[in-house]
Structure 1
Amino acid sequence: MTNLELQAYRRFLMLKVPEASEYIGKTDASTWHEWENGSIPVPESVANVMQELKKLRSDKINIIINSINDRVGSNTIRYFMTYAEFKKVNPDLDVIQWRLHQSIATELYFRGLEKLC
């Protein structure tokens, strides 16, 4: 994975550098910045996790889209403005899962498939 691809993945998944560096890279933000600016190569383990998260995101979106026609009532997806709000509803999930959820909710909203609530 190139430095530009890493940055694109991080932004696509709505991750901040401190979140990505801590939870994915298991390093500090300055090292993550070095990966993104191309000073040092992106570790294969980090590239693999980012690709797995992208696949998980795609799989979850497909599950939601496939279930939309079977729903009764309006199509809404919760958008959590803060991690604390997300954690109240999903106590077992971490910040990466929160950002993944926000990324999914945003895409579904902009596709016109879900309303945010």
Structure 2
Amino acid sequence: MNADELQALRHILALTIDECANWVACDGDIKAWQSWEEGRQTIPDVIIEKMLAIRQKRIMHINAIIQKINHRIGNNTMRVFRDLETFRSVYSQGEFLDWKIYQSVAAELYSHDLERLSS
């Protein structure tokens, strides 16, 4: 993964640099994350592995929902959650990154006119 790919994936997931530093790198080092995205420092393997795992989890969610869409009759509205607390009221075991992945999937499906969104 290069700097541009890291930044693109962060944007797709609607994560800020601060959120990535806290929830992906788990160290709060915003300057390090910025230096990876700017290509000034090599992205650590552990960060690449985590981001690729998050991307894979997102792909799995999209594919699962598309399967349901293909077999569904009727409503095609996907719920979105404006904040982590609301997400956890439905997905009690959900973590911050789970919420971000869910929101990213909802936006992706909406962008392809496969789902409407509702909170």
TM-score, shorter chain, exceeding 0.5: yes
1:75–1:115 Cα contact (<8 Å) kept: yes
Find the counterpart in structure 2 of residue 56 from structure 1. 57
Q: Tell me, which stretches of 5 or more residues in structure 2 are unaligned?
A: none
* Structure 1 residues 59-98: aligned runs within 5 Å: 59-98=60-99
Residue 18 in structure 1 maps to residue 18 in structure 2: yes
| 1:48-99 Cα deviation digits (max 9, x unpaired) | 1111111111121111111113224301111111222212222211111111
| 1:5-62 Cα deviation digits (max 9, x unpaired) | 1111111111111221112112222221121122211101111111111111112111
Find the counterpart in structure 2 of residue 8 from structure 1. 8
How many pairs does the alignment contain?
A: 117
Aligned partner of residue 80 in structure 1, secondary structure: coil
1:19–1:96 Cα contact (<8 Å) kept: no
Aligned partner of residue 14 in structure 2, secondary structure: coil
Instruction: Give the AA of the match of 1:41.
Output: T
Instruction: Give the AA of the match of 1:49.
Output: K
Provide the rounded CA distance (Å) in 1 between the counterparts of 2:91 and 2:32. 30
The TM-score normalised by the length of structure 2 is: 0.89
The TM-score normalised by the length of structure 1 is: 0.91
* Structure 1 residues 21-32: aligned runs within 5 Å: 21-27=21-27, 28-32=29-33
Please identify runs of 4+ aligned residues in structure 1 that moved more than 2 A: 69-73
Instruction: Give the AA of the match of 1:88.
Output: S
